[in-house]
Chains A and B, each alone.
Chain A
Amino acid sequence: MASMPPDVVRYPLHRTTLANGLQVVVSPDPSVPVVAVNLWFDVGSRDEQPGRTGLAHLFEHLMFEGSAQVAAGEHLAAVQAVGGSANATTWFDRTNYFETVPTGALDLALWLEAERLGSLRLTQETLDNQRDVVMEEKRQRYDNVPYGDVLIHLVELTFPADHPYGHPTIGSMADLVAADLADVRSFFATHYAPDNAVLTLVGDVDPADAVARVERTLGRLPAAGRPRRSPTPGLPPLAGVPRREVAARVPSDAAYLAWRLPARDSRHFDAAELALAVLGGGQTSRLHRRLVRTDEVAEGAGASATGLIAGTSTGFAHARALPGVAAEALEEAMLAEVTRLVDEGPEPAEVDRAKAQFEREWLSDLARLDSRADLFGCYATLHGDPGEVNERLDQVRSIEPDAVAAAARMYLRPEQRAVLTYRKER
């Protein structure tokens, strides 16, 4: 197989930590007159308290509702009005906020971030309004589409209810209704501070000049003291094949398998991810060949891993039935392929394909300035070193088929699975 020249995806990196604890990563790229500004806050749904789920995601909304010198909604509107884009997302392990702007608007983007971090306006009015918006988001994305609640069920099957990953990021609507202004203010004070964040700039900037601009804006905010987390040890594999069946108005039956995997910062996780790619990544995968092409029981089938940092990640396999095929038939065929992979391991050519596909997907993530910045923020926040982004291709390339076989045997055994099925209501 052809290989990349070793330095071809080595992006320049300049790291510094400001006096207030804000970590700053700058990676210059002059190819277009644009800069991506990306802030990772080390807070996700795993940091929510029982009875107050959904707060991390609610903040993703509230952070756009104005501050001392910025009106509600104006953050986004001001960025758009200079030809930029802005957004935010929430996940189990983080909340990220980002703007991509013409380089002349870098100061504006940094100022807007400093404004809301320093003086976010939290009022009953915006809390009520954004709570309504979040409820519409949940209806639109989870409740009103076929199979929309799949992630909620899989999370609940894979983790104990009191585990940090035991509830989905959208949270409980009852919890959201119960949250009051004091809860929201306390969450902000605990988690939103410069020393709990990584700021990444990627684009047409000079590192020293960029850091000076950050100093003048976000550098003025006080540190708050990083919140402490109690350690979360890795969970043992699932036992007893936990199972949930959902009867719903879906067009056809579907089946999902779930496993617990090691944390995302381990080679075992990378090997398990490659094993899941052999099982269910792309048209050449075993699940696609068996269920879609040979048995013709499914309209689609696949598998993938979701990397999480706190001790335990997840791996899922899925298949959606062709009309008239029952979920049991899907599960049986999926299980046969899982068993074969665990018993016999992958062919070397399958592992090569999985690595080649990983490489393309990784390069695709790095191609965009905004997603490249997000990767630096991710590795700085969760892995402690943004430089790992430059090592990642070599790390994955060096995993041998034996390690993939061992990961399948260790983490993907049929008896270590959970099962979710959707049954079409007649």
Chain B
Amino acid sequence: MSRPVVGAPRVWQFPEPERRTLDNGLRLLAFHRPGQHLLNATLVVDQPLVSEPRALEGVSSMILRVLDEGTRSHPGTDFADAVEGCGAVLHGGTSQSAAHLSIEVPVTRLDAALPLLAEVVREPQLSDDDVRRQVELRLAEIAQHRAHPAHRGGQEFRAAVIDGAFRASRSAAGEADTVAAISGEAVRTAHADQYRPDASTLVLAGDLPADLLGRVDRAFAGWRSTGSGAVQHESPLAAPPRCLLVHRSGAVQADVRLGSFGVDRSHPDWPALRLGTFVLGGGFLSRLNRVLREERGYTYGVQLTNVPARHGGLLSLHASFRTEVAAAAISEATDLLVTDGDRGITRPELTDAVNYLVGVAPLRCATAAGIVDQASALVEVGLDQSFVNRHTAELLRISPDQATDAVQRLLPLGALTLVVVGDADVLAEPLRAQGFDPQVVVDD
């Protein structure tokens, strides 16, 4: 039997939400998805970390860590009992530009869960004792992350690629010296200042009941703004390229990141860059993975990824190579990123990349959780929901030359930052032999 012909995909559009703004300024985006038995809701709070005091970085993230440790209506552990008792789970997270608090619960338990989500942002206890305990837990987490090669590599890469004058160059959840200084008072002050309905958006999806908006209104109407003033975001700039070798004695692999400060979704090059990076290092038979995994067997996998922020982004190759071949692998990876002359991105490569990026969108949005993730990510960076369909249309218009050109400008081969986390005693010499000049970082 010969290879089947593939039928044209059905046209798919990102769904249009129902939009409302409550009297207190809270914006709502509701996606009705019949057959989705779980409700997913994410509250996005516009909360740029640049507003944190330098000496207390991590305080915004600490709010989220302590938020569910008790409320005035459900003090202490009563709150977690109420959340888990109705079959819900709460997750919180902080990016450089926003805090997001998510709840997932069977739609049948909506009436129990929505007021709990409102309660946790309106009237958290944020007690001194809970803050003290969560500070200890965050300090332990920092130690765990420093010992983990992928976490460590990501952290060092961020710090190396973004100019240190910007908040975005440092961990969103704060580092040991600033986290240790966070008090209950600091957390309560930051919460009162930042958790404002007029700076927040609630995104919901699921098999929603007809009177959903009324229920949301009842749960959140009593939430009042205690902060004021416009919310200011920063626009970070790139740092000069660097080459770092973070020493991990005895490591059997080198965790490698090679890349640059990239662009965000609003940048004119974004569609071309996404396609170009997919060709070089996104697909299974990308230029990088085909050679470094499938031909050489140097690694379990290599990817070139874009992580867009509100302003700018991180563009990096990531792989773990076994120590003995790491220097040669990095050198070969650098060569595989070359798109000059007859190595430009081809039409067939581009077509496959377009088909993939356009085709996976409906799958990602097939669940309530998928829709809310996508929609809240856009809210977080200040983009309207119409972005998805506009972006899809743009992907279809990019030419191979545009994709090649975007990669060449945004991933400048002579000026990339390299961060290697591995055994410096073994890696330093081979890296120098390959023409790199690593600055070795050794922990105390």
Interface residues in chain A, defined as those with a beta carbon under 8 Å from any beta carbon in chain B? 2-5, 8-9, 29, 31-34, 64, 69, 72-74, 76-77, 80-85, 100, 102-105, 107-108, 111, 114, 128-133, 135-137, 139-141, 143-146, 216-217, 220, 249-252, 282-284, 289, 292-293, 296, 299, 320, 322-323, 349, 352-353, 356-357, 359-360, 363-364, 366-369
Within 8 A of A (CB), among B119-140: 133, 136-137, 139-140
Judging by beta carbons under 8 Å apart, are B38 and A363 in contact?
A: yes
18 example contacts (A-B, Cβ-Cβ < 8 A) are as follows A32-B363, A32-B366, A34-B366, A81-B356, A83-B358, A102-B9, A102-B362, A103-B7, A145-B148, A220-B1, A283-B68, A299-B141, A349-B85, A352-B85, A353-B84, A359-B87, A360-B106, A367-B36
Let me know if B373 is at the binding interface, CB within 8 A.
no
Cα distance A103–B35 when bound, in Å? 19
Let me know if B320 is at the binding interface, CB within 8 A.
yes
Known: A84-B363, A299-B144. 18 other contacts (CB 8 A): A76-B283, A76-B284, A77-B283, A80-B356, A102-B359, A104-B9, A111-B1, A129-B297, A132-B298, A139-B320, A144-B253, A220-B1, A282-B80, A283-B68, A323-B140, A352-B85, A360-B104, A367-B369
Contacts of A356 in B (CB 8 A): 84-87, 109
Cα distance A217–B356 when bound, in Å? 24
Judging by beta carbons under 8 Å apart, are A129 and B359 in contact?
A: no
Judging by beta carbons under 8 Å apart, are B87 and A357 in contact?
A: yes
Cα distance A76–B84 when bound, in Å? 40
**Listed stretches B181-189, B261-269, B287-295; interface member:** B287-295
Cα distance A146–B365 when bound, in Å? 35
Judging by beta carbons under 8 Å apart, are B4 and A111 in contact?
A: yes
Cα distance A368–B2 when bound, in Å? 31
Judging by beta carbons under 8 Å apart, are A105 and B360 in contact?
A: no
Judging by beta carbons under 8 Å apart, are B356 and A83 in contact?
A: yes
Cα distance A284–B79 when bound, in Å? 9
Least CB distance from A392 to B in Å reads 13
Cα distance A205–B430 when bound, in Å? 55
Cα distance A322–B142 when bound, in Å? 12
Judging by beta carbons under 8 Å apart, are A322 and B140 in contact?
A: yes
Contacts of A284 in B (CB 8 A): 77, 80-81, 84-85
Judging by beta carbons under 8 Å apart, are A77 and B352 in contact?
A: yes
Contacts of A146 in B (CB 8 A): 144, 147-148
Interface string of B1-26 (1 = CB under 8 A from A): 11111111110100000000000000
Which chain A residue has the least Cβ–Cβ distance from B370? A368
Cα distance A296–B133 when bound, in Å? 8
Least CB distance from A402 to B in Å reads 20
Let me know if B47 is at the binding interface, CB within 8 A.
no
Q: Identify which of A74, A293, A369 contacts B77 (C-beta below 8 A).
A: A293
Let me know if B251 is at the binding interface, CB within 8 A.
yes
Contacts of A73 in B (CB 8 A): 284-285, 290, 294
Let me know if B439 is at the binding interface, CB within 8 A.
no
Let me know if B146 is at the binding interface, CB within 8 A.
yes
Known: A77-B285, A296-B136, A356-B87. Contact between A33 and B9, CB under 8 A? yes
Which chain B residue has the least Cβ–Cβ distance from A34? B363
Residue from A4, A8, A139, A282 having most chain B Cβ neighbours under 10 A: A139
Which chain A residue has the least Cβ–Cβ distance from B145? A251
Q: Identify which of B84, B112, B298, B300 contacts A137 (C-beta below 8 A).
A: B300
Which chain B residue has the least Cβ–Cβ distance from A70? B3
Contacts of B199 in A (CB 8 A): none
Judging by beta carbons under 8 Å apart, are B320 and A144 in contact?
A: yes
Known: A69-B2, A360-B38, A368-B367. Contact between A140 and B106, CB under 8 A? no
Chain B interface, DSSP helix/strand/loop, else mixed:
mixed
Cα distance A105–B125 when bound, in Å? 53
Judging by beta carbons under 8 Å apart, are B293 and A133 in contact?
A: yes
Judging by beta carbons under 8 Å apart, are B6 and A105 in contact?
A: yes
Q: Identify which of A100, A133, A299 contacts B140 (C-beta below 8 A).
A: A299
Judging by beta carbons under 8 Å apart, are B146 and A363 in contact?
A: no
Which chain A residue has the least Cβ–Cβ distance from B34? A31
Known: A4-B106, A296-B136, A363-B106. Contact between A283 and B84, CB under 8 A? yes
Contacts of B298 in A (CB 8 A): 132, 136
Cα distance A76–B89 when bound, in Å? 35
Cα distance A152–B11 when bound, in Å? 47
Let me know if B337 is at the binding interface, CB within 8 A.
no
Let me know if B252 is at the binding interface, CB within 8 A.
yes
Which chain A residue has the least Cβ–Cβ distance from B138? A299
Which chain B residue has the least Cβ–Cβ distance from A296? B133
Let me know if B215 is at the binding interface, CB within 8 A.
no
Known: A353-B81, A360-B87, A360-B89. Contact between A369 and B366, CB under 8 A? yes
Cα distance A132–B137 when bound, in Å? 38
Q: Which 4 A-B pairs have the closest CB atoms?
A: A83-B359, A132-B297, A104-B7, A356-B87
Judging by beta carbons under 8 Å apart, are A32 and B37 in contact?
A: no
Contacts of A32 in B (CB 8 A): 12, 362-363, 365-366
Known: A4-B108, A107-B4, A140-B320. Contact between A129 and B295, CB under 8 A? yes
Judging by beta carbons under 8 Å apart, are A359 and B140 in contact?
A: no
Which chain A residue has the least Cβ–Cβ distance from B10? A33
Interface string of B241-275 (1 = CB under 8 A from A): 00000000111110100000000000000000000
Judging by beta carbons under 8 Å apart, are A2 and B366 in contact?
A: no
Known: A293-B133, A367-B368. Contact between A140 and B300, CB under 8 A? yes
Judging by beta carbons under 8 Å apart, are A83 and B355 in contact?
A: yes
Contacts of A69 in B (CB 8 A): 2-3
Judging by beta carbons under 8 Å apart, are B356 and A31 in contact?
A: no
Contacts of A33 in B (CB 8 A): 9-10, 12, 362
Cα distance A29–B363 when bound, in Å? 13
Residue from A5, A220, A363, A369 having most chain B Cβ neighbours under 10 A: A363
Known: A85-B363, A111-B4, A220-B1. Contact between A2 and B105, CB under 8 A? no
